[in-house]
Amino acid sequence: MTTPAPNPLAHTRAAVLGYGSQGRAHALNLRDSGHEVVLGLRKGGPSWQRAQAEGFAVAEPAEAVKGAALVAVLTPDMAQPALYREAIAPHIAPGAALLFAHGFNVHYGQIEPRKDIDVVLVAPKGPGALVRSEYARGRGVPCLWAVHQDASGAAAAKARAYADGIGGGRALLIQTDFREETETDLFGEQAVLCGGASELVTKGFETLVEAGYQPEIAYYEVMHELKLIVDLFYEGGLTKMLEFVSETAQYGDYVSGPRVVDTGTKERMRAVLDDIRDGTFARQWIAEHQAGLPNYRRLKQADLDHPIEKVGAALRARMPWLQPAKEEPAPLKVVG
């Protein structure tokens, strides 16, 4: 029997910077896996209080970094460069590991890590709530992992040990690099998952309403029912979707899908990918953030003001199954 390699993170402390969706899930899972965890957070904020209430040692980021064998940066992308300059670079120990869950800042040169530290990536392919709930069930969420810089000679082992600590090793670990993770993640968000899907839905809604159909019916057909199809994709790919929709729907898929999403769409997707690969998108986003997000705010408000949102809010209010479950009141106790 092969003796398992020693865990390079055993009997060391991990500093997790950030306590949002991913940060909280990673911290809880690492602790439950037997790792010592300290949270690096802004003092006095709601995350600080919540982390303390959930039993974590909490410190300002710079203090949390000191003496940590691994520092996980789980804050928003645009906050990371300043965090690295001010709290991490002056304090992270030589030979320690700096871990990211998304390669944006390293890949696009916004963070240039010190040469005497390991730089690794572990990216769960699911939201933080799922990372936590799957771990609690004794399972895990698949993770991508990568090594950008190996100063200690054990960077790969550290990345895999961290992925195991948050439950990824129970599912699937896929090795990648910072470039591939960053570029494919951005492309998926822009061309399909967020940008592509939201534009397809709103343009479909507009097409039906402009043709004289009721907005409520248009909403159900292009927004509400999308979840049914996405769930089938998620559970079994194209095969399961085709198995569970009608033959009429299948035939419409075959003959009309390519009329909407055609070779021209694919060419425009390639243009989106080119902007991601050559850094155009990153430069635009960084400049937008530095300018105070004027275009971001304007474009976001336009989405929020779209008629589909007004119609949808009214319809969703009549769907009690979408509302958070309320706890049943405790039964009255008869005293006497």
Tell me the average pLDDT of the chain. Answer: 95
Residues 58 and 172 in one domain: yes
47, 75 contact by CB (below 8 A): no
CA dist 255 and 240 (Å) reads 19
Q: Is 39's pLDDT higher than 60?
A: yes
What sign results for the dihedral spanned by CA atoms 82, 85, 87, 92? Answer: positive
Give the model's pLDDT for residue 219: 98
CA dist 255 and 245 (Å) reads 15
Asked if residue 207 belongs to a domain, the reply is yes
Binding site, annotated residues for Mg(2+) = 185, 189, 221, 225
For residue 30, the enclosing domain spans 13-176
Phi, psi of 297 (to 5 degrees): -65, -40
Residues 118 and 266 in one domain: no
Residues 147 and 23 in one domain: yes
Residues 140 and 32 in one domain: yes
Residues 163 and 17 in one domain: yes
Amino acid at 4: P
Angle among Cα 65, 79, 26 to the nearest 5 degrees reads 55
Asked if residue 200 belongs to a domain, the reply is yes
Give the model's pLDDT for residue 119: 98
Q: Is 330's pLDDT higher than 70?
A: no
| 173-175 β-sheet, strand order | 57-59, 36-40, 13-17, 70-73, 97-100, 118-124, 143-149, 173-175
Residue 102 is among the residues annotated as catalytic for this protein: yes
Residues 251 and 125 in one domain: no
Asked if residue 331 belongs to a domain, the reply is no
Residues 278 and 157 in one domain: no
Give the residue carrying structure tokens 């771990």.
135
Give the model's pLDDT for residue 52: 96
Q: Is 2's pLDDT higher than 70?
A: no
Phi, psi of 20 (to 5 degrees): -85, -150
Query: Does an H or E element contain 208, and which?
Result: helix 195-210
Percent of the chain with pLDDT over 90: 93
| For residues 191-196, average pLDDT | 97
Residues 32 and 69 in one domain: yes
Asked if residue 328 belongs to a domain, the reply is no
244, 230 contact by CB (below 8 A): no
Q: Is 245's pLDDT higher than 80?
A: yes
Asked if residue 251 belongs to a domain, the reply is yes
197, 122 contact by CB (below 8 A): no
Q: Which residues contact 13 (CB under 8 A, 6 or more apart)?
A: 35, 36, 37, 38, 67, 68, 69
276, 177 contact by CB (below 8 A): no
- Judged by DSSP in three states, 112 sits in coil
Asked if residue 181 belongs to a domain, the reply is no
pTM given for the model: 0.92
When pLDDT is cut at 50, 70 and 90, the band that residue 331 belongs to is very low
Q: Is 328's pLDDT higher than 80?
A: no
| For residues 323-328, average pLDDT | 62
Q: Which residues of 70-92 are buried (b: 16+ CB within 10 A; e: fewer)?
A: bbbbbbebbebeebbeebbbebb
Binding site, annotated residues = 19-22, 42, 47, 128, 185, 189, 221, 225, 246
pLDDT tens digits, one per residue of 43-75: 988 999 999 999 999 999 999 999 999 999 999
Residues 146 and 58 in one domain: yes
> Which carries the bigger pLDDT value, residue 326 or residue 192?
192
Residue 92: both structure tokens together: 């992270």
Question: Which of 245, 228, 237, 223 is CA-nearest to residue 315?
Answer: 223
β-strands 143-149, 118-124: how paired? Answer: antiparallel
- Give the domain-ending residue among 144, 176, 208: 176
Give the model's pLDDT for residue 335: 40
| For residues 314-327, average pLDDT | 84
Among 26, 35, 91, 102, the active-site one is 102
305, 198 contact by CB (below 8 A): no
Residues 162 and 203 in one domain: no
Give the model's pLDDT for residue 45: 86
Give the model's pLDDT for residue 104: 98
Residue 279: both structure tokens together: 């850094």
Q: Give the chain's length.
A: 336
When pLDDT is cut at 50, 70 and 90, the band that residue 334 belongs to is very low
Binding site, annotated residues for substrate = 246
Give the model's pLDDT for residue 326: 59
Phi, psi of 122 (to 5 degrees): -135, 115
When pLDDT is cut at 50, 70 and 90, the band that residue 5 belongs to is confident
Q: Report in angstroms the alpha-carbon separations of 130 from 140, 167, 177, 301, 331.
A: 9, 11, 24, 29, 32
Number of domains in the chain: 2
CA dist 143 and 156 (Å) reads 14
